[in-house]
Chain A
Amino acid sequence: MHWQYVIPGYVIVFGGLAGYIWTLLARIRAVAEQVPEEKRAFLD
């Protein structure tokens, strides 16, 4: 009972997370190309 509310909730959260992660990684790769290799290290 109430699955009609549960499923959209999980789709919103995990679909939203997947979309954000996909976009975040694409943004990182795009910007990293503009940064010289020696300036990339920080937390590693």
Chain B
Amino acid sequence: MSTALTGPSSSKASRVIGLLALASTAILLLVGLVLSPPEVDQADSVRLMYIHVPSAIASLYLAFGVTFIGSVIYLRTQSTFWDLMAHAGAEIGVMFCAFVLLTGMLWGRPTWGVYWQWDPRLTSTVISFVLYLGYLAVRKMDLDPAVRSRRAAILGIISFANLIIVRYSVQWWRSLHQGNTVGRDTQMDGLILFSFFWGILTFTLIFTWLLIHRFRLAWYEHQAGATSLDDAIAARRAERTPPLAGEAL
């Protein structure tokens, strides 16, 4: 498949994923905001769970997982592909992590009576957010590209360790945050359960589309840098070796 057929920002595959994500989002909005009933205890604030938990999965598991895998492979192979993939995962993950924190605060206000508590789950999540912001800052540093990529990869691996704390914080410490939403003792059913899982499906599709496009941007930036470097080297060589008299240019 050629990008010349579909333009620089899309391919046929990414268009299919994009259309599926759009359709899935429309269904999520319909089911999540209109058709599903209020929950007995949480009332309508349960609807925030249809975007809060999927954002958490897209951020903490999918996006930061990609950054971790990309970082490990980069350190072993110096693969540009995985270096760029790790960067793409981190940027998308930070955005979804911001959504997790903000929608969690909005859910916490009617449920707990406060927007924020220094609870183990919330605190470890905000630490993750700051760690990956730091990762993106390292990516912006004016360093030799290989050094910058290596430092970012090391940070990508260290930051992933904190995600284990996020995952198990509700089990290791006394936490205001509820335990695993889905498990053996799940009490959701009907349209509430459907909306919840549809949200996860929708955000997985959105994440996949975003990852393809964010990687595409990173790839173009890498190629543009390589092209400008090639041009600079060629220009320098042309300056140093002027053509001889009578030689064709």
CB-CB contacts of A13-35 with B at 8 A, as 1s and 0s? 11011001100110111011111
A5 touches B107 (CB 8 A): yes
Residues of B within 8 A of A (CB): 1-4, 8-9, 11-13, 25, 29, 33, 38, 42-45, 47-48, 51-52, 55, 95, 98-99, 102-103, 106-107, 109-110, 206, 210, 212-217, 219-221, 223-224, 226-228
Q: Which residue in B11, B42, B52 is a CB contact (below 8 Å) of A44?
A: B11
Known: A17-B206, A39-B223, A44-B2. A25 touches B48 (CB 8 A): no
B2 touches A31 (CB 8 A): no
Known: A2-B44, A36-B227, A40-B8. A28 touches B216 (CB 8 A): yes
Closest CB-CB distance, B96 to chain A, in whole Å? 9
Known: A2-B43, A13-B55, A39-B227. A28 touches B210 (CB 8 A): no
- Using CB atoms, name the residue of chain A closest to B99: A13
* Docked complex Cα distance between A9 and B100 (Å): 10
Of the A-B pairs whose beta carbons lie under 8 Å apart in the complex, a sample of 28, sorted by A's number, is A2-B42, A2-B43, A2-B110, A5-B107, A5-B109, A5-B110, A6-B33, A6-B106, A8-B106, A9-B47, A9-B48, A10-B29, A12-B99, A12-B103, A13-B103, A16-B95, A16-B98, A16-B99, A21-B210, A28-B217, A31-B224, A32-B220, A40-B4, A40-B8, A42-B215, A43-B11, A43-B212, A43-B215
B219 touches A42 (CB 8 A): yes
A-side binding surface: helix, strand, loop or mixed? Answer: helix
Q: Which residue in A5, A27, A31, A36 is a CB contact (below 8 Å) of B45?
A: A5
B-side binding surface: helix, strand, loop or mixed? Answer: helix
Q: Which residue in A1, A29, A35, A36 is a CB contact (below 8 Å) of B38?
A: A1
Beyond A10-B51, A28-B8, A29-B8, 16 extra complex contacts between A and B, CB < 8 Å: A2-B42, A3-B44, A5-B106, A6-B44, A12-B103, A16-B99, A17-B206, A24-B214, A31-B217, A31-B220, A31-B221, A32-B8, A34-B220, A36-B227, A39-B227, A43-B13
Q: Which residue in A9, A21, A31 is a CB contact (below 8 Å) of B106?
A: A9
B95 / chain A contacts, CB cutoff of 8 Å: 16-17, 20
Closest CB-CB distance, A18 to chain B, in whole Å? 10
A20 / chain B contacts, CB cutoff of 8 Å: 95, 210
Known: A1-B44, A16-B95, A16-B99. A9 touches B219 (CB 8 A): no
Known: A32-B8, A37-B4. A9 touches B220 (CB 8 A): no
B51 touches A27 (CB 8 A): no
- Using CB atoms, name the residue of chain B closest to A1: B43
In the A-B complex, list the 6 residue pairs whose CB atoms are closest, starting with the nearest: A32-B8, A44-B1, A2-B45, A34-B224, A1-B43, A31-B220
